[in-house]
A and B are shown apart, each in its own frame.
Chain A
């Protein structure tokens, strides 16, 4: 049986991907799990793996092409199998953005309107390398027709072909009797899935849109989720989701009336996240001395101010679980584990790799891990599970000579700490003017979760750690 290779949702927010490089040529023997191509998502370059065995019969996208999630990229099939109808109808479905990702609609349509599929197959290849069927679905066509994909430079001649058969009728009356005894006619564009499949997908952080349904009428069933997992779709997200979803690792706090009112009123005033800012100036003299001494001990002991702040923040979060929290709309989720994200600037944007269980890492663990993550972030080599799943964030622009700034909260987190540069300043200490190393930090707080005093107490704790830096080494 032929296997369609489609642009998969390889990151939580991916809507389209750019095919960077084909790793396989037409005619190559393929086994499920083989890396077919490299795909650039909105965050990283990921591998696109085969979901079936056979021969790579047809490649439909060129290196460099950007395609919406769900677009047919290639077909794997037996050497002698006729794939015309797949290339035809599959491509057509791709342009509706529906059937491709195995939406029930696609499968039901090909079942209920065979004439149409034949028409596509007959007409489409003559007009354009990737057939551009008109919209077939009455449901949402989430993806615009694809104009430039395809292997040929020949422009489509004339208007896109129209289906020879009439548009499939609207959904028939609901079948009587057992649902499974009738194919689910999903012409309404709904994505059908079993309750179990939905639960498994949600547990594993898999988006149903990326799954090919094999049940009646294209229903996504348990085996489809399992196959998707085996094929590596969104395995990363699933790991991150599981990491945060483990029972016992968090405490859900029901919203009190006053908390609901705070959330509602402040969102009206300053929304959607009613943010306030707390700025404090810490004395970093001792921290600077410690850094110097550590550096003298050898390279393996070196730590940056950023590492020191992350360690201090992680320890402080342990003492203030109300800050180590997510706003979930109907409740606040306080985490028992501490996963600190750090903003890293990359060539054309920024990304927030996560130091998981940062409170349990030594300063040098943090230093090494942070360096590794930042390096790979700049090369866009991070896996999705490495930049999702954080409980709090830190952003540092000190190295750019910024002495103070405000950072934007990364929802659903409740806070982010913006770190300015360490600089020498004249300070009055016990009536004497002294030159001290000072560091200004600004915490952005989601007022629905964190009140002013809560944030202030948290910063007091961070100050205690920064100003007594030996406590970070214990």
Chain B
């Protein structure tokens, strides 16, 4: 199996799907001439030409709307946002048009499109450009929300997203693009809505998604040195959520910590905890704890930014607490 970066895995998925189906096209700011702000579309303009790799003006609402229209007439657009912070300007098209079109047209218009781009904080991009949006988007009926944390899942889930007939929100990460991992060649498709047990242990379940999967793996390594073995449940898709995988793990370990990049209130973790209390009430030996960004706009100062972000140390502390070790 080839080892490649998360970025290259995405490029590979785009290339394979552009080759596989000529209704698929990519558009966004600087995706063509500049090869993408994060080089995810590198080489695609040369291979597929300007009709399928389309540079747009800096008008998120405008080109998102073009994408919705293209999907209505049978194309399969991939809309790249330079970051999801900029996609706020396009939310009317995402939430009010794409997510509701099938429903409001009485089933006449499918919406086979993907909105993709980096989500969450990078380093010192300050309050307006360091936000994790998955709980906003997962709130909306009609959207599917995918959050791959590894190169293999990035490729497999992007292929599933492009082939899906519903609008799919695809959340990448600036800090993930350079991470490496093994990626299966060719037809590697990860089903939407299926979590993966990335690490197995009996003592506690750590449920997470997206960029925090890397943190979770480090936590699992650190705790293993103390003889504590945890399940790392990577949700991979946060809507629809794989409740069965969560229950299966918690019913085994009797304890859970939920780790996410975003804020506490109405975060993805709130939903996970709700599923756990419903499905696993009699299995719980401790309250479920959450690890998340502190409830403040992301600070610019390096030390404060570090303090505000969820990390391995905070997660270890929470796991020790639900295991009644501290």
Interface residues of A (CB under 8 A from B): 178-181, 194-199, 214-216, 221-223
Contacts and interface: CB of A to CB of B under 8 A. Distances in A.
Contacts of B290: 178
Contact of A196 (B285, B289, B324): B285
A198 B322 CA distance: 17
Contacts of A180: 286-287, 289, 321-322
Contact of B284 (A181, A194, A216): A194
Nearest to B322: A180
Given A180-B287, A195-B284, 9 more contacts: A178-B290, A180-B286, A180-B321, A180-B322, A194-B284, A195-B283, A196-B285, A215-B324, A221-B285
15 contacts: A178-B287, A178-B289, A179-B287, A180-B321, A180-B322, A181-B321, A194-B284, A195-B282, A196-B254, A196-B282, A196-B283, A198-B282, A221-B285, A221-B286, A223-B324
Nearest to A223: B324
A222 B321 contact: no
Nearest to A215: B324
Interface string B268-305: 00000000000001111111011000000000000000
A187 B289 CA distance: 24
Interface in B163-220: none
Contact of B285 (A178, A179, A181, A194): A194
Interface of B: 254, 281-287, 289-290, 321-322, 324
Nearest to A214: B324
A216 B324 contact: yes
Nearest to B290: A178
A222 B285 contact: yes
Contacts of B286: 180, 194, 215, 221
Contacts of B289: 178, 180-181
Contacts of A216: 324
A198 B281 CA distance: 11
9 tightest Cβ-Cβ pairs between the two chains A and B: A179-B287, A196-B285, A222-B285, A194-B285, A180-B287, A199-B282, A195-B282, A221-B285, A195-B284
A195 B287 contact: no
A214 B287 CA distance: 15
A197 B322 CA distance: 14
A221 B323 CA distance: 10
A216 B286 CA distance: 10
Nearest to B283: A196
A458 to B, nearest CB: 38
A466 to B, nearest CB: 47
Nearest to A199: B282
A457 to B, nearest CB: 41
A147 B290 CA distance: 50
A221 B322 CA distance: 11
A195 B324 CA distance: 15
Contacts of A221: 285-286, 324
Contacts of B321: 180-181
A214 B286 CA distance: 12
A181 B286 CA distance: 11
Contacts of B324: 214-216, 221, 223
Contacts of A194: 284-286
**Most chain A CB inside 10 Å of its own CB: which residue of B283, B287, B289, B322:** B287
**Most chain A CB inside 10 Å of its own CB: which residue of B254, B283, B286, B321:** B286
A222 B254 contact: yes
A216 B282 CA distance: 19
Nearest to B254: A196
A225 to B, nearest CB: 9
A195 B322 contact: no
Contacts of B283: 195-196, 199
A215 to B, nearest CB: 5
A223 to B, nearest CB: 7
Contacts of A223: 324
A223 B285 CA distance: 9
A140 to B, nearest CB: 26
Contacts of B322: 180
A385 B290 CA distance: 44
Contacts of A215: 286, 324
Nearest to A225: B285
A273 B310 CA distance: 61
Contacts of B285: 194-197, 221-222
A196 B284 contact: yes
Contacts of B282: 195-196, 198-199
A180 B319 CA distance: 11
A181 B290 CA distance: 11
B83 to A, nearest CB: 31
Contacts of A196: 254, 282-285
B265 to A, nearest CB: 12
Nearest to B286: A180
A335 to B, nearest CB: 25
A251 B270 CA distance: 40
Contacts of B281: 195
B270 to A, nearest CB: 12
Nearest to B321: A180
A259 to B, nearest CB: 29
A239 to B, nearest CB: 22
Contacts of A178: 287, 289-290
Nearest to A181: B321
Contacts of B287: 178-180
Nearest to B264: A177
B33 to A, nearest CB: 50
Nearest to A179: B287
A206 to B, nearest CB: 15
A214 B283 CA distance: 18
B67 to A, nearest CB: 41
A245 to B, nearest CB: 15
A177 to B, nearest CB: 9
B202 to A, nearest CB: 12
**Most chain A CB inside 10 Å of its own CB: which residue of B283, B284, B285:** B285
A102 B254 CA distance: 22
A222 B323 CA distance: 10
B116 to A, nearest CB: 34
Nearest to B289: A178
Contacts of A181: 289, 321
A195 B286 CA distance: 8
A231 to B, nearest CB: 19
Contacts of A195: 281-285
A196 B283 CA distance: 5
A221 to B, nearest CB: 5
B266 to A, nearest CB: 15
A216 B324 CA distance: 8
